[in-house]
Amino acid sequence: MSTFIARRLLLLPFVAVGVTLLIFSLTQLLTPAMRASLYITDPKQLNALPDIIRKYHLDQPVYVQYWEWLRQVLHGDLGWSETAREPVAIAIAGYFPATFELALYSFACILTLGIWLGTLSAVRKDQLVDHISRFTSISGASLPTFVWGLLLLMIFYGHFGWFPPGRLGLQADLFVRSSRFHPYTGLMTVDTLLNGQWWLFWDALRHLVLPVATLTYFLTAVLVRITRSSMLETLRADYVRTAEAKGLNQSVVIDKHARRNALIPVITLAGLLFVGLLSGVVITETVFNWPGIGRWGVAASQQLDIPAVTGFALAFAGMLVLGNLCADVLYAVVDPRIRLK
Amino acid sequence: MLAGVVVLVVAVLMFGTGARGAAGPIQNPDSLILLTYGDPESLDPAYAYDTTSDGIFWPGIYETLITYDGSVLSRYVPRLATEVPSVANGLISKDGLTYTFPIRQGVHFHDGTVMTPADVQYSMLRFMLQDRDGGPSWLLLTPLLGTDSTRDSKGAVVVKYADAAKAVTVEGQNVVFHLKRPSAAFLSILAAWSFVLPQKWAAAHGGWDGGAATWAKYNNPKLQDRYEFDHTNGTGPFSLQTWDRQTKELILVRNEHYWRAPAPLARVVIRTVTEFAARRLQLQRGDADVISVDRPDQSQVTGMADVAIQDGLPTLVVQVMHFNQKIDASGNPDVGSGKLDGNGIPPDFFSDVHVRRAFSYAFDYGTFIRDGFRGKALQPNGPIIQGLLGYDPTLPKFTFDKQKATAEFKEAWGGKLWDTGFHFTETYNTGNAARQIGAQIIKDSVESLNPKFKIDVRNIQWSTFLQATVQHKGTLYALGWAADYPDPDDFAQPFLATNGDYPKRNGFSDPRADQMVRQGAETADPAKRTQIYRDLTKLAYEDVPGIFEAQPTQFVVMRSWVRGWYYNAILPPLANVGFDFYTMSKQ
């Protein structure tokens, strides 16, 4: 197991270099003036583009430019974002916790619900519960997120007033901005608990419910279908039939023998889903006025804010690489054949 | 898909479209929550020159020497001065060149320091001398120094500190303004543009110290160069607590040491919420008190329980589609190839008057007014709009005429344009539904004339959009003008004078217009002024600096528990209209 993980970790730097090369080569499609903006970390530099072009060798061969750019990135200088009005690295650090929190809760719900419903559907194939589960998941995936989001907002906020949009209510927001509150992680539900403020925790949770529900409803469908088909295939396998023939309890057969093997494709999908959530769920963030990285990324791309878009792409690529690494490690955990290979 | 539609239909049938409001007790009774879609560019009163920024800090944070008497634009009341100057009380000299303002004593800035006449003088000098490109400094420079810019056309500083210091002097407890020439509009300018901030505070934070030797260094600053960009220190009833640029939220808190009685509201929260549905639902639930609503969306808030709409408010606002005649093409993807080759446009594409006329004829004014403003607007015939001296509805204006547009396009660029075609991107600010409609109308109409004509449409966040236009990056872009003060000079100068706000952004210049704008500003006789502004309207029709699309009426949407709001056409529109938060409360 440790050899497998070490091998994967050793590959990581090569993947990272590949990713930076890819992003850098995309920036080569831009003019030198637009590329120079990647090196601006302060608005005072905006008038000094010719100097920056010289300083960072933007008129030099591509490999020189790549090295200069990489050096800058490794120092944490991702340029100045006109959209956020601050350095890109600071903007990413500022926007990321809100998205991470939303992704984390959504992912937990998607995973739990998806695997549970998928398993249930497979075990009770063609029974009522299977039909309901498939109907629900298909209906979730069949309408765009903004329709579901607005619908949930209209019903559970507009009508009942239970779950408001935004990240915090007014009183909670004022408290969080006061000196009485210490932000430890940027995750509101965690920080409010660490500060011992239960009412704030409840407020943060209320604001999470609808965006999490929207994402869960929308994204669970795929997981249900994958889990169901994978489970159906596994349940037909000889070793499962043998286990049943030996008289094992059905729950043991399903939980210990079938599901574990059926999870392999699910893990692949889950890894990608999580990274997708982390890259920002733009529509959900917009509908619920959630101050996350996705909204900023889209605004930056609309405004041709090149440093922000490049920084966003780098951050996303980094997360994708890490997500895949986690998925690989999880494969090894659930499937000994992969470790042994 | 079918299942989803069924669920949606059932839900909507069960719950309606959410017109049910939050009946019951007032929510957040000491806080006013305002949702808009614009974000401020800067909170520096000598830099900001857009309605969102100005509407946030005036009159809540920064105050002026005098101000308008509620809704009445022709009457003034004292604020940081103790009297409104007039010839009758001797505070305006008989020749109309000297205005004396006795400065109020016992007024404190938000940091607790006492306001002095020296601070007033400093603030006026700072306002004039900072003079950023596309900024408001011309408003004081013109009457006091007789120029509308501190720099010449090449960017060299031409104004002397000594001249500025002589124009605004301190005499005991008075601050005296010495005008270059009589100005009929001077009091109305000061009523909206004489913000006062403390000299020591600014200097202590890296700002100009008020000295003759240092001012040039602070001339024409970049956006975030100044501490005052996101910090404020005024005398007003509210101070800035937070400007969170990530959550796009500003919180103003009540100034408990305000020189008048403290405001009824403890705080004002201004949030940028670009999604209209989210704004509307928060208004419906009572979590927001005032929201921005564009005309096309008005029907969605009409009839909402416990929500009041005041409609038909006359404005001094004009919506314009601007032609940039000197586009900065460096790193600017909106110009495509940057050449007249069918894949882009050259930087001087709009310098050909036939192009400008063609676009003006290709714009469907009636559809724009119907769809963008639900018919509640009129088509102006130039920058001098209804309500201003010199407005004349009988003067000629462009009409939607595809044949004329085609004829003009065929003449453009020596007859080449029709064959080569063009491709560029026009822009407007994110969230503005009317401007989006206008942009789409011109795109559809022009593209229908010739398959070689291609226009893309792109929306940009408000503050970034403003920066782009000031940096000459705009091509054809939609941006309006709201009155700084109720006088035709405030529309003639920004649209037609070489150093005016839009001519500077767009590279427009006509010496005849410069001369007439100057004459209009310096002439006191209303009859003569009327004729000058009529002539300027005709000149604008000839020169076509932009497409003067519409002068809309306005409406405001707020919870019915909001009290104390009054309409003033000069207060910068923050959510459709402007707000004096001091008079407002929730009951």
Reduce the secondary structure of A160-229 to three states and give it as a string.
Answer: CCCCCCCCCCHHHHHHHHCCCCCCCCCCHHHHHHHCCCHHHHHHHHHHHHHHHHHHHHHHHHHHHHHHHH
**Contact between B417 and B409 (Cβ < 8 Å):** yes
Nearest beta carbon to residue B277 from set A44, A140, A153: A153
- Write out the DSSP string of B529-552: HHHHHHHHHHHHHHH--EEEEEEE
Closest CB to A43: pick one of B225, B285, B463.
Answer: B225
Inter-chain touch A85–B463, beta carbons under 8 Å: yes
Q: Which residue of A has its CA nearest to B330?
A: A33
* Average pLDDT value for residue range B346-372: 96
Comparing A195-209, B17-31, B36-50, the range with the smallest average pLDDT is B17-31
CA distance B280 to B557: 10
Residue B136: its pLDDT value, please?
93
Across the interface, of B269, B275, B458, the residue whose CB is closest to A289 is: B275
In the prediction, which pLDDT does A48 show? 63
Which of residues 492 through 551 in chain B touch A, CB cutoff 8 A?
A: none
- For every residue of A65-132, which 3-state class applies, written as one string? HHHHHHHHHHCCCCCEECCCCEEHHHHHHHHHHHHHHHHHHHHHHHHHHHHHHHHHHHHCCCCHHHHH
The 3-state DSSP class for residue B312 equals: strand
Is the Cβ of B24 closer than 8 Å to some Cβ of chain A? no
Tell which residue, B391, B389, B372, B368, has the closest CA to residue B381. Answer: B391
Q: Kindly tell me the burial class for residue A247, based on how many C-beta atoms sit within 10 Å of its own C-beta (0-12, 13-18, 19 or more).
A: exposed
pLDDT value at A322 more than 50 = yes
Q: Which residues contact A236 (CB under 8 A, 6 or more apart)?
A: none
User: What confidence tens digit (pLDDT) does each residue in A19-30 have?
Assistant: 888 888 877 777
B36 touches chain A (CB under 8 A): no
Length of chain A counted residue by residue = 341
Strands B267-272 and B317-323, bridge-based pairing: unpaired
Distance to chain B for A170, nearest Cα, Å: 8
Contact between chains at B28 and A143 (C-beta distance less than 8 A): no
Q: With contacts defined as CB-CB under 8 Å, which chain A residues touch B2?
A: 142
- Nearest-CA distance A286 → chain B (Å): 7
Report d(CA A299, CA A312) in Å as an integer.
Answer: 12
Whether the bond between A307 and the residue before it is cis, its omega within 30 degrees of 0, is no
Interface probe with B: pick from A39, A49, A170, A287, most Cβ of B within 10 Å: A170
* Position B10 pLDDT exceeds 70: no
* Mean pLDDT across B242-265: 95
Share of chain A above pLDDT 90, in %: 25
Instruction: Give the max Cα distance, chain B.
Output: 80
**Lowest mean per-residue pLDDT among A279-288, B119-128, B236-245:** A279-288
Residue type, position B395, single letter: L
* pTM exceeding the 0.80 threshold for the entire prediction: yes
- From chain A, the residues in CB contact with B28 under 8 A are 170-171
- Overall average pLDDT of the B450-463 stretch: 91
Q: Measured between CA atoms, how close is A233 to chain B, in angstroms?
A: 27
Q: Which of residues 45-64 of B touch A (CB under 8 A)?
A: none
- Whole-number pLDDT of residue A327: 79
Choose among B240, B160, B231: nearest CA to B202.
B231
Spatial contact of B194 and B124, defined as CB atoms under 8 Å apart: yes
Q: Residue B14: what pLDDT? A: 47
- Which residue from A259, A290, A296, A320 is spatially nearest to A122, judged by alpha carbons? A259
A44 with B223: Cβ contact below 8 A: no
Confidence of residue A173 (pLDDT cuts 50, 70, 90): very high
Name which of B4, B224, B282 is nearest A43 (Cβ-Cβ): B224
Question: What tokens does B281 get?
Answer: 């639902």
- Of A48-52, A151-155, B119-123, the range with the lowest mean pLDDT is A48-52
Digit-coded pLDDT (tens) for A235-247: 888 888 888 888 8
The rounded percent of chain B whose pLDDT value lies above 70 is 95
Section B21-31 average pLDDT: 79
Is the predicted pLDDT of residue B20 greater than 70, yes or no?
Answer: no
Other C-beta atoms closer than 10 Å to the C-beta of B24 total 9
Task: Give the pLDDT of residue A26.
Answer: 79
At A4, which helix (H) or strand (E)? helix A2-27
- Give the chain B residue nearest A92 (alpha carbons): B246
Q: Is B9 on the interface with A (CB under 8 A)?
A: no
Q: Cα-flanking dihedrals φ and ψ of residue B268, to 5°?
A: -125, 125
Residue whose token pair is 């020159």: B49
For the stretch B287-334, pLDDT in tens is 999 999 999 899 999 999 999 999 999 999 999 999 999 999 877 889
Cα separation, A13 vs A182, in Å, equals 36
Ranking A80-94, A102-116, B111-125 by mean pLDDT, the lowest is: A80-94
Contacts of A82 in chain B (CB under 8 A): 464, 467
- CA pair distance B186, B95, nearest whole angstrom: 14
- How far out from the chain centre does Cα B73 lie? 18
pLDDT at B220: 86
Residue B83, pLDDT score:
97
Which amino acid would we find at residue B15? F
What are the percentages of helix, strand and coil residues in chain A, rounded to 5?
A: 80, 0, 20
Q: Flag if A289 and B28 touch (Cβ within 8 Å).
A: no
Q: B8 and chain A: CB distance < 8 Å anywhere?
A: yes
Would you call B30 an interface residue with chain A, using a CB distance cutoff of 8 Å? no
Give the DSSP H/E element, type plus range, for residue B419.
helix B417-420
Looking at chain B, which residue has its C-alpha nearest residue A97? B246
First to last CA, chain B: 47
Nearest residue of B to residue A139 by CA position? B4
Q: Average pLDDT, whole number, for chain B?
A: 92
**B contacts of A157 (beta carbons < 8 Å):** 281, 285
Which of B8, B287, B330 faces A143 most closely, judged by CB atoms? Answer: B8
Closest CA to B83 of B63, B59, B107, B101: B101
- d(Cα B431, Cα B292) in Å, to the nearest integer? 10
Band (B190; pLDDT cuts 50, 70, 90): very high
Compute the count of residue pairs across chains A and B with CB atoms less than 8 Å apart. Answer: 124
> Testing the interface with A: which of B8, B275, B462 to mutate, by most A Cβ within 10 A?
B275
Token pair 């306001």: residue: B115
At A341, is the pLDDT very low, low, confident or very high (cuts 50, 70, 90)?
Answer: low
Min Cα distance A108 → chain B (Å) is 24
Measured CA to CA, the distance from residue B361 to residue B410 in angstroms comes to 13
Does pLDDT of B110 surpass 50?
Answer: yes
User: What mean pLDDT, rounded, does chain A reach?
Assistant: 84
For A34, which of B251, B284, B331 is closest by C-beta distance? B331
Region of B421 please: left (phi>0), alpha (psi -120 to 50) or beta: left
Residue B180 phi, psi dihedral angles, 5° rounding: -70, -45
Please give the distance of CA B538 from its chain centroid, rounded to a whole number.
Answer: 24
Interface contact A302-B459, CB threshold 8 A? yes
The residue of chain B nearest to residue A32, with distances taken between CA atoms, is B331
Q: Output the CA torsion sign for B111, B115, B120, B125.
A: negative
Chain B residues near residue A83 by CB distance under 8 angstroms: 461, 464
Residue B462 near residue B52, CB atoms below 8 Å: yes
Task: Please name which of B147, B141, B237 lies closest in space to residue B189, comparing C-alpha atoms.
Answer: B141
Contacts 24+ apart (CB under 8 A), A294-301: A294/A99, A295/A95, A296/A83, A296/A84, A296/A91, A296/A95, A296/B246, A299/A83, A299/B430, A299/B461, A300/A81, A300/A83, A300/A84
Which helix (H) or strand (E) segment holds residue B66: the answer is: strand B66-69
CB B109 within 8 A of CB B197: yes
Q: Which of B5, B18, B269 shows the shortest C-beta gap to A158?
A: B18
> What pLDDT is recorded for position B223?
62
**Closest residue, chain B, to A290 (C-alpha):** B247
Q: Give A85 to chain B, closest Cα distance, Å.
A: 8
* CB-based contact A82 B224, cutoff 8 Å: no
Record: contact A43-B222, CB cut-off 8 A? yes
Tokens linked to B574: 């923050």
**Taking a contact as any Cβ pair under 8 Å apart, which residues of chain B between 403 and 432 contact chain A?**
430
DSSP-derived letter for residue A156 is: I
Give the mutation candidate from B218, B226, B227, B246 for the A interface (greatest A CB count, under 10 A). B246
Structure-token pair, residue B228: 């005052």
- Cβ–Cβ of A299/B430 closer than 8 Å? yes
Q: A-chain residues within 8 Å CB-CB of B333?
A: 304
Mean pLDDT value of segment B97-115? 97
Closest among A38, A78, A303 to B467, alpha carbons compared: A303
